[in-house]
Amino acid sequence: MRPRAFTPNAPDYQHPKPFWGTSRFPIAVMGVGVARLRLDFLASSELGFDERPEGSVLLAVSVGLPNGPLKTADMLH
């Protein structure tokens, strides 16, 4: 199992999905080699997507390095 944790300072969501406010730490092969990343899962409304079609799910993730202040990207799938 990959390491996971609760995201520090995550908002207290109303009607949260089980993965909101959690972090995962996968190892990824990148152009410069192998790196451990930090994936912070959040509500899609945090990225400006307040509405979605009935029955759909938007997965919003903030991606960065595990112990650094660097955030490299916000992703929405």
Locate the domains of the chain by residue range: 4-76
What integer pLDDT is reported at residue 3 of this predicted model?
A: 57
Position 1 scores a pLDDT of 44
Give pTM, 2 decimals. 0.71
Determine the pLDDT at residue 2. 53
How far is it, in rounded angstroms, from Cα 23 to Cα 65?
A: 11
Strands (E), the chain: 4-6, 22-24, 27-30, 33-36, 38-42, 60-64, 71-76
pLDDT at 6: 66
Residue 73 has pLDDT above 60, yes or no: yes
Most confident residue range from 24-28, 48-52, 66-70: 24-28
Nearest Cα neighbor of 27 from 17, 14, 36, 39 is 36
Q: Which residue has the higher pLDDT, 57 or 22?
A: 22
